[in-house]
Structures are given as C-alpha cells and as structure tokens.
Structure 1
Amino acid sequence: MRTLLPRLLALTLSAAFPLPAFAAQTYALVVGVDQYPNDVSLDGAVRDAEDVYASMSAAGFKVKKFTNAEARKDDLRKAWTDMVAEAVSGDTIIFTYAGHGAQMPELIAGDEADGLDEFLQLPGFDRNRYEETSKEIIVDNEMNAWFAEAEGKGVHVLFVSDSCFSGGMSRSIKGKSRLAPAVTVKLAPPSQEAVAGAALKEINFKQVTVLAASLESQPTPEVIIDGEPRGALSWSFARAVEGSADRDGNGIITRIELEDYIFSNVKNRSEALQVPNFMPQVARSESEVVVTLTRGIPAATGDTATTTNDAGTIPKTIKTVKELGWTGKIALQIDGEAARPTDAEGTGTPFRWDVATGTFYTPNGDVAAENVGADRIQPVVDKYVLLDFLKAMASQNPGTVSLAPVKDIYAAGQRLRFDAPPGRYPNMLVFNLANTGEVQFLDMQAAGTSSSEFKLTDVEIVKPFGADHLITIWTGEPVDAIGAVLSDKNVTAATLLQALLTRLDGKEASVAIQPLYTRETL
C-alpha cells in the first residue's frame, strides 16, 4: 500500500519538537466521509469522525468537524487556513481523515518514484467527470503545502489518515476497504498548489508527523469494534486522546507513548490485519511531544492506579471493563437449528455459526473455528466473551508482543516464533485462547522485581485451524490465584474470566493480545 507517507520519505527529519508549555493550544480539523454519491460508500468513517471529535472536544481542543457532504475542499482549506492564522509558535494542529484514498498518475513528470500521486477523495469527486469535479480531491502535493504553512509559523502538525491507497489481503474480510478505484489516465493538476507543492518534498520538515492506518503492503479495511463498522486507527486514536496513551499521566502524549499505544491497539482491534505507519519512522527524540492534552488528566476518584514519572506520583484513573462498555455478551447469528448458548444475546454485528458445516465466523468475516458442533459452541462463545474483556483492559494499558514472521494468516506446516518481552511490572501471565475455546497455560512469573522475557520458538502450525489468541498480562497485583486457575488442566474461559474479573478488573495491568489466524492451505 502506498499512502501520503512516501511523499514525506525524502524529507530530512532530524530535529526534535521542543517540549510545549501546557498553555499551548491544540487545534483540530476532523473529516469523515461515508456517503460517496459517485463511488462505493463506507459504513464507519463518520462514526470515526464523531468519536475523534468527541475525544478532542473533551480534551479542550478547538475542533472543526466536517462529515459527508460538508467535506468540501474549499471549506476544508479555509478551516486549515484559519487555524494556521490563529495558531502561534508552539501550538499544534491535528488533521484527522477517515474515508476513501486513491491514486492517480503523477501530476509532475518524475516527481514520484512509482509514477503515482495519492489523494484523499471527497464526496463531490467523480472520476468520470474529472474536469468538473477535480477540485474535490486533496493531492499529496497539496498536503505538503498545507503542512509547510504551519511549519513556517513554528506550529506542530499531526496528520492521521485512516484511509487506503493500495494493497490486498489474504484473509476473507467482509468489511469495506477504504480504497477507491485509481484514476488511470493522465490528468491536469486540480490546482496550482498541487503543482507548486511538488517542490516542497525537499523541505526539511521539523514539526510534522504523519500517522497512516496501514503499511504500504496492507489494505485499510473497516472492522467491527463494539458491534459497529469502524476504522481501527481512528478508534485507537480517539482512546489515545482520551488519555489512555498518556502512560505517565503528565498531560502530554509523546511520540513514543503514541507509538506504543497505537501499534498495540490497532493490532488488537483489527485482529492483526493492520500495522500502522508513522512518518518519520523513528521518533526525533525520546521526549518528542505530538499531542498536548490541554485539560490534563483529572484526579481519580474511587479505585485508582498510580504511575510515576520524574515529577513524582500522579493519580490516573483505571476504569472497570463495564465502564469501558464491556457487556459480558457477544452477538451470535445461528444458521441452522441449534440451541442458543449462554452469553450470546449481545447486540451489533454478530459472530456467525453455521451449524451444518460447524464453521464459526467473526463479525469481520474471518473463520475463527472449524468443526464446532453443539457440544463445542459454548466454549467458543466463552472465549470471545473473555477476549472482549481482555481487549477492554488493553485499551487502557496495552502491552507489546511479537510474532515472526509477520503475516495476516499462516498455513499448516509453517513455523513461527512468539516473544513477550519483560514488562514494567513484576508479575506476568502468558496463555493461549485456542480456536476451540480451550485455555492453554504457558507461563507465570511472580514476585520478581521485573518480569523476564518469554519465548515460544519454532512453533509449527497444525490442526485445528481458525483463530488463536496469545495473551500476556503484566501487573503488580498478586497473580498466584489466577495462576492456580490457569494451571488446572480443566480450566475454561468462563472460569478464567471470573478469576480475572475478581483480581484485575479496575486494577493496573498491561495486556497484550496476539491474534494468530491459521488455515490448512493459503
């Protein structure tokens, strides 16, 4: 996949952001488009925009939001110009876009290594009437010109693009891709700015960070989150701005904090379909700030967890999973005659169980388990109720694990390696939620000053196929009782859920989830 990021790859990005004062203002331009009269419409981009808008407004940002037909280029340009005019050095402008992206032959010969320019597609664009509607696209060159205006005033820019420009996928996903058809014929530039902006690739941008939904080789699909089609990047960014990415609770989100949070939660929420892409790829410094939470983090009430930074101990609220929207149920569509399992009366886009074939599908359309009969459906349902619980926990404090080689799906006979690095907490639990619903205990480390690395090497993919989820939990809370539950060879997902609810819900714990999708052949 090729996004707006390659446009910035040629830039020399070496300087660090200065640490902004808390008085600095953050402006935001939020765009979300579902309704494309001249193209395939989307289902979740406006939800993304509304979610991001709400989180930014609560954080004290000055936000302008444009959705569907409101997203006209002239109006977006004016909003950007007004923000740049009002902003002063040290302020930040965040531009978030959820909608279609597309490609076109390069506007300036020799300007692009692959001969293609990328553009954000607004609802008024019709590729069959390009001359009449060309002003309703925003080309990568134009984006550079916009960014340069802010850069010239010493204003920081964060561009979050939840869109798609190319790529394909191996897994069968029924959600829509945020990829519009490419323009295939050579066209005139949509604006003089699109021509002039080509020269800006040599500018040494020092205060611009771009965050794209996926790597070049991947699509950006809409996935099901909390029962609704969403963009995994937008959902994760909204949670980040709510304060979840502010690991030390000091009211600012550094580039490193944002990376750690976004990478983990996009993987969790997209079921490992996406890997976000930052530009520059490496933080300019350890203290580089990308988001200032103007209002800071409110003092916690009730149960709180504390984290420590150089300024001392700062209270930070840890919500319970129910406060985060967890219901303890999943939605399930049953195709065929069978009794409904318990905890399968949830709402939203459902899982699907084909009774005749025994195939169990995720809301995204993936095959999660095979040969699921009436005697096995309850453990599979219980697994996903537990997994939703763990995803809710991870949304507040995600951990990082890795699977190599990185693929969205693995075939029988392939070998892989799983690594869980040491956490910043002394206790660690590692287990697998198999596609059968079985809980497989892998490791427990307790009562140390810090956990040590856990590795699974040379693991071979074998039957049964479907979706496994490798789970790692790091915490300062005692884990012996949970370990005792896990070590019981007859442990079920429902029993483990009760142990985790009792011991860790509302407590400080970091959770990492590594989806592992398998098939007999690709």
Structure 2
Amino acid sequence: MKKALIVGINDYAPIGSGGPDLNGCVNDARDMANTLVICGFAPAQIRILTNQNATRANILNSLKSLVSNSVKGDSIVFYYSGHGTRVANIGSDLEIDGLDEAICPHDYASAGVIRDDDFKTVLSKLKAGVNMEIIFDCCHSGTGTRKMDLALDMDFSYEAARFIPPMLEDEFYMTYASEIPLSKSSKKQTFTTKALVPVAGLNHTLWAASKDNQVSMEGNMSGQIRGYFTYHFCKILRATNGNIVRKTLDKQIAMALAAMGAAQINQTESITAEFSQKIFS
C-alpha cells in the first residue's frame, strides 16, 4: 500500500497576519498530493495538514501513525513545505557543528520546533521492507544566512527564503562549535551533509531542497507562488507518472534549478542501492 503525510504551512502563529508567514507552501502541498495520486497513491491514503492544523503535536502524531501502521512492502511518504531553522544541541550527543536542523510547525514559537533527532526517534520504528521517502522544501541554513542574492534570468515579483534565523544562543554555539569539545560519550562525527542521514537498518531516502549552507526559495512560477524545488520535483514526477529512478530524478531536479538560476542545489541522501531503484517502489 502507498500512504503519505503532507504538511504545508503558509500561516505561522498567530493565525492570520503577524507570524513569519510564507505564500507558496499550501500550493506545494496541493501539488504534491495531486502528483502522488498520479503516481498511484489513493486519495484516502494521503493525510494533509496545513496552516493551523500543522501543529507540532499533529505532525509528530501523524508521522508516528504513518510509520507504525506501515508493513513490509508499503511505500510511504512524508512531505514538508515551510520554514526550517537550526537549534543548538548542547546535550551529551553534541554534534560537530553544535546544531540540530529542524522544521518549524505552525506553533513552533510556543510548542517548539521538530528536530532531526525527533525524526530519528520516529524513524527508528520503521519496519524492515517499508520504503520511505522524506521530502523537505525548507531551509536548513547556517548562521548569518538571512538573505541570498539570486542571479535569476526571470524577474520574479515575489521571492522569500524558507528560513527562520536561529536565536542568539543557537548562533553563538554554531559560531564557536569548533572550539567546543565533544563529551567523552560522544562519537566524533565527520559528515558534512544534513544531520538527518540514513541510519543503519532503516530504509528511507531524504530529498532536501537545498544544501546545508543554502536557503530554499519560493517565488512566482507561472503566476503562482511555489517552492522552486517542489515545483520541479512534482513536474518531473507527473511527466513520468512516477516511473523514474531516484538518481535520474535527482539529476533532473538539479538541472532544472540550475537552468532557472536558483541559488540552491537539491541534495538527496540514501543508501547506494536505493539510488538506482525507482521512487515509491
């Protein structure tokens, strides 16, 4: 069975104007849901959470349900479009860059963000033989990356970065991360990719809209505000009915982003064997 959880957040608390609102994320969620139907997902098996419904509790509970109710042979998808940020990780498992990457639910200001460690806890329950695609169209950018100049051929009337700057304490720890010694119980980590990486025994692929040191953008695409990454991701899937291997999809998205002059490069992570297999299979 194919099942999906789709999250798109334009409206951040408070409801209505006032929060760090975006404009293209609900459009992205709609496009992703319709694209998954074209790729063989039954509408009844697609759960959508947008705006005030996309609270931290609702997202985590829905994701836990998606994972726990899946069995060997299922293909499941978790898609998120909204703000991303980084938060300080100063516990015993201090990461080499001192930060956790995180997504921002509608109520992040009061309920908190959802860290990569939160995702790892949920994904540790993923059963063997379940295929999972995790798709993030948000920013996981470093300190100071609040605005990037784009060398675009097109004159977009609206552009915004899907990124909430870290709080002062988080920026401080990132700035001095290289000088903060790791605790003896921590195993030194040398990877430079996103923190949400494949864990031994898990079967999932991470599709990220940008690399760690970049921002993910949204702008006017054919008269509609869209996330650049999701726009091309869905366009390619629709053109192929989902009949495409992951490494080809990854390459075509990268080429499309480069062709439009976007200052972001998509990043896909999985075990090597998964790259040569068809998505959703």
TM-score by length of 2: 0.76
Question: Which structure has the higher relative contact order (CA within 8 Å, separation 6+)?
Answer: 2
- Work out which of the two has the higher radius of gyration on C-alpha atoms and give 1 or 2: 1
1:154–1:207 CA contact under 8 A, matched in 2: yes
Q: Give 1:72-221 correspondences, 5 Å limit.
A: 72-126=55-109, 133-134=110-111, 136-150=112-126, 152-166=127-141, 167=145, 168-171=147-150, 175-185=159-169, 203-221=199-217
The one-letter code matched in structure 2 to 1:67 is: T
Change beyond 3 A, Cα 1:138–1:261: same
Q: Is 1:59 paired with 2:39?
A: yes
Q: 1:216, CA displacement in angstroms?
A: 2.2
| Stretches (4+) displaced over 6 A | 198-202
Q: 1:176, CA displacement in angstroms?
A: 1.1
The one-letter code matched in structure 1 to 2:29 is: A
Which residue of structure 1 lines up, in the alignment, with residue 52 of structure 2? Answer: 69
Secondary structure of 2:161 counterpart: coil
Which residue of structure 1 lines up, in the alignment, with residue 262 of structure 2? Answer: 272
Q: 1:201, CA displacement in angstroms?
A: 7.5
Secondary structure of 1:289 counterpart: coil
1:338-362 per-residue CA deviation (whole Å, 9 max, x = no partner) reads: xxxxxxxxxxxxxxxxxxxxxxxxx
Secondary structure of 2:234 counterpart: helix
Q: 1:76, CA displacement in angstroms?
A: 2.0
Q: 1:227, CA displacement in angstroms?
A: 1.6
Change beyond 3 A, Cα 1:28–1:286: closer
The one-letter code matched in structure 2 to 1:170 is: D
Q: 1:110, CA displacement in angstroms?
A: 4.6
Which residue of structure 2 lines up, in the alignment, with residue 288 of structure 1? Answer: 277
- Which of the numbers 42, 45, 66 marks the counterpart of 2:22? 42
Tell me the distance in 2 between the aligned counterparts of 1:290 and 1:253.
6
Tell me the distance in 1 between the aligned counterparts of 2:91 and 2:130.
28
Tell me the distance in 2 between the aligned counterparts of 1:272 and 1:165.
16
Q: Which of the pair is proportionally richer in helix?
A: 2
Which residue of structure 1 lines up, in the alignment, with residue 247 of structure 2? Answer: 256
The one-letter code matched in structure 2 to 1:224 is: N
Tell me the distance in 2 between the aligned counterparts of 1:102 and 1:286.
27
Change beyond 3 A, Cα 1:278–1:285: closer
1:147–1:157 CA contact under 8 A, matched in 2: no
Q: 1:184, CA displacement in angstroms?
A: 2.9
2:140–2:214 CA contact under 8 A, matched in 1: no
Q: 1:240, CA displacement in angstroms?
A: 3.2
Secondary structure of 2:159 counterpart: coil
Q: 1:202, CA displacement in angstroms?
A: 9.1
1:308-358 per-residue CA deviation (whole Å, 9 max, x = no partner) reads: xxxxxxxxxxxxxxxxxxxxxxxxxxxxxxxxxxxxxxxxxxxxxxxxxxx
Identical aligned residues as a percent: 25
Q: 1:91, CA displacement in angstroms?
A: 1.3
Q: 1:65, CA displacement in angstroms?
A: 0.5
Structure 2: gaps spanning 5 or more residues: 171-185, 188-195
The one-letter code matched in structure 1 to 2:37 is: S
Structure 1: gaps spanning 5 or more residues: 1-24, 127-132, 187-197, 293-522
The one-letter code matched in structure 2 to 1:284 is: A
Tell me the distance in 1 between the aligned counterparts of 2:203 and 2:58.
24
Tell me the distance in 2 between the aligned counterparts of 1:289 and 1:31.
23
Change beyond 3 A, Cα 1:287–1:164: closer
Tell me the distance in 2 between the aligned counterparts of 1:45 and 1:154.
31
Q: 1:205, CA displacement in angstroms?
A: 4.4
Secondary structure of 1:36 counterpart: coil
Q: 1:215, CA displacement in angstroms?
A: 1.7
Tell me the distance in 2 between the aligned counterparts of 1:75 and 1:110.
27
